[in-house]
Amino acid sequence: MSLLPLPFIPEFAQRYGADEALMLAVVMELVGGYEGEVVINEQRLYGRAKHLQRRHQGQLLANLCARGLVDIEPQNDGLVRLSARLLGQSNKALGATAQAPAVPPTTTAAMAVAPPTVDRRQRDDELSRIFAVKEAEQSLQMAMHGEWQPSVNILRMLTQNMQISEAFALGLRDEFVVYYMDKERRESPGGWDARFLKWVKKEHVQQQTNAARSQQQATSNTQHEEARFLAREKRRQLSAAVLDLNNTDW
């Protein structure tokens, strides 16, 4: 059975980006509207927009959580609790001009306490966004698998900022993957990138250290060989002089 088209809103694409709008459409379809909450299988969440890589979908959802548009909370057995808070955003996107009624303060005391209330609300909103990002990152954690690849950003950082070639970094990928597949760790896509970056830096430093040690050893061997040659040459000349009975210069 073919799936129905996603409830894509062009205004969301203009405001947040095309891929973000697509993920919002997936969320709206799963929760059943602009506002709602549902507990679903993690595979169902990531299986709707199949043309987007799962890692990219995770980054998009984390961005949407940071904006306070959606919430993702991991549950047991591969389930996630998905919430949407898009009603106010949809009104803006569809051109609604609803205005909040003005409520004048009744007393001077009420005016005095109003600013702290706004400040507390702002702090609560900020904390909610932080917690939403953390929950989203936690829900996007995955085990290492054989098809894992470092992100383009990590490879660019290695080549441009650390002067480590992409070929050197990718040459360490298989060893990195096998090592962490045995560890059975779970990390977010960004967490695996960070671990790979640390792994490559360590191996690069070790390679440079080994190269410097080999160069030093080669130089030392050359110097020792030259010293031995000079000692042999001096003994040869001394022996020749001793055997030359007619030579009394020595």
Is the separation of the CB atoms in 37 and 15 below 8 Å?
A: no
Is the separation of the CB atoms in 186 and 139 below 8 Å?
A: no
pLDDT computed for residue 121 by the predictor: 64
Q: pLDDT of 186-205, one tens digit each?
A: 887 888 988 999 999 999 99
Burial class for 161, CB neighbours closer than 10 Å (0-12, 13-18, 19+): exposed
pLDDT computed for residue 90 by the predictor: 54
pLDDT computed for residue 188 by the predictor: 79
Residue 20 has pLDDT above 60, yes or no: yes
Is the separation of the CB atoms in 86 and 31 below 8 Å?
A: no
Instruction: Spell out where the chain has E strands.
Output: 35-41, 70-74, 79-85, 142-143, 186-187
pTM of the predicted model as reported, rounded to 2 decimal places: 0.37
Which residue in 166, 147, 171, 179 sits closest to 54, CA to CA? 147
Mean pLDDT across 143-160: 89
* pLDDT band, very low/low/confident/very high, at 244 (cuts 50, 70, 90): low
Mean pLDDT across 104-115: 41
Tokens (6 digits) for 234 = 């001096």
Q: pLDDT of 118-134, one tens digit each?
A: 456 666 666 666 666 56
Higher-confidence residue of 98 and 64: namely 64
Mean pLDDT across 70-85: 84
